[in-house]
Amino acid sequence: QDYSGRLRAALTLTAVALMPAFVALKLTMDPPDELEELAMCGFVALVAGGMLVKAALFVHGGRALRQLVQLLYWTRGRYGSGGSGDATRRRYRKLSDRVYFYLQAASVPAISGWVCSPLLSRIVLQGAPESGDARRQLPTPAWLPLDIQASPTYELLYAVLAFCLLIASETSVGIDSFFIHLMLMISAEIEVLSQNVSAMQRTLTETTQHKDEDWCSNVEINNETQKFSRSQHSLNTTLITEDVSDEEIYSRLVNNVRHHQTIFRLVALLQSSMTVSIFVLLLVNMANLCSSVFVTAVLLQRDKSVTKALKSLVAIPPVLYQTGLYCIFGNIITDQSEK
């Protein structure tokens, strides 16, 4: 049993769950009077709740995901290792690495905006002599049975909320990158299988033509292509056609069939692990986009605060990018399977 993994999962879920818990306490114990604050609380609760559900479903499906990873590792070593197979897998692996960096690049501005916007707002308010709201803001709405405006309670709570935002963002990026990596690796296996089947078909066609025509091979001599029979082989000629026995062709066919069956198992495990998660993800992302636009409009219309509106605006690009990636790379598996 991997107790360290369970401990890390528990700590991650706890950090992600703190944000919706703080928002729930805020709405229950100290409900905001202004519409813009209420809209922000609802937005944070929706986003943080979606991240918590996604992380919980990922942890719950850990056994199936471990089986999938182990089977994928075994498949890479058993079928099509070496040559074009390894080159294909490396190409998909590089694409997966780029997707991970792109996801990180999309999430960094959003996290920076959420963490730094209260500090920027405080600086702007201090520079305004007629400022009516001198309260210090937090990255996300929160409530404690203490004076959260007093030091060091404010600083400690600010650090905890910033840490929870970072953990929630990295957890979401990690889960998305993991699933996209699995989809790309399965697509690589499908392409490797397609290459092996095509190579076997070419070999079978060449062997059949070789037997029917009673010619051994095409030979290049002085940039001219000539045909030679079996009795006319020369020591200075290079044979192009490979003579493959029926047993070798049968062995390749059996290997490709087993590879195809293994890919079916990989796809079934991936589908069982992602069906509920993807449904929840798309539902939450749709709600996040609608709430982001609504909260931004309310903040700009009622409060005239650009820093507050920025917090909801910076959450839109990662959501769009995340949804688009699942659609694009999920379609890659479909395209490869149809070839």
Say if 264 falls within a structural domain: yes
Rounded Cα gap, residues 318 and 316, in angstroms: 6
CA distance 39 to 29: 17
d(CA 314, CA 295): 12
Share of the chain above pLDDT 90, in %: 21
- Per-residue model confidence (pLDDT) at position 87: 87
- Residue 17, domain member (yes or no): yes
331 domain-assigned: yes
Q: What is the pLDDT of residue 221?
A: 46
Q: Does the residue 247 lie in any domain?
A: no
Look at residue 161 and tell me whether its pLDDT is greater than 90.
yes
Mean pLDDT value of segment 12-32: 91
Q: What are the pLDDT digits (tens) for 168-195?
A: 989 989 998 999 999 999 999 998 888 8
Name the domain count of the chain.
1
Could you tell me if 139 and 165 are in contact, meaning their C-beta atoms sit under 8 angstroms apart? Answer: yes
Selected residue with higher pLDDT from 147 and 318: 147
17-26, 130-139, 321-330: which is most confident: 17-26
Query: How far lies 140's CA from each of 22, 38, 116, 166, in Å?
Result: 8, 12, 11, 12
Q: Model pTM?
A: 0.78
Choose the weakest-confidence range: 27-36, 253-262, 311-320. Answer: 311-320
pLDDT attached to residue 241: 45
In a domain, 229, yes or no: no
Domain that holds residue 293: 3-211+252-338
Total residues found in the chain within this entry? 339
303 conformational bin, left if phi > 0, alpha if psi -120 to 50, beta if neither: alpha
Contacts with 146 (C-beta within 8 Å, 6 or more apart), sequence order: 153
Q: Does a structural domain hold residue 316?
A: yes
Between 8-17, 39-48, 187-196, 200-209, the lowest mean confidence (pLDDT) is in 200-209
For residue 315, pLDDT over 60 is answered with: yes
**CA separation for the pair 83, 251 (Å, rounded):** 19
Say if 288 falls within a structural domain. yes
CB atoms within 10 A of CB 73: 11
- Token code pair at residue 60: 């719950």
Q: Are 244 and 203 in contact (CB under 8 A)?
A: yes
> What pLDDT does 213 receive?
47
Which pLDDT does position 338 carry in this prediction?
67
C-alpha 237, offset from chain centre: 52
- Cβ-contact 57, 278 below 8 angstroms: no
Mean pLDDT in residue range 197-215: 61
Query: Tens digits of per-residue pLDDT, 81-117?
Result: 667 788 889 999 999 999 999 888 888 888 888 888 8
d(CA 275, CA 62): 14
Residue 240 inside a domain? The answer is no
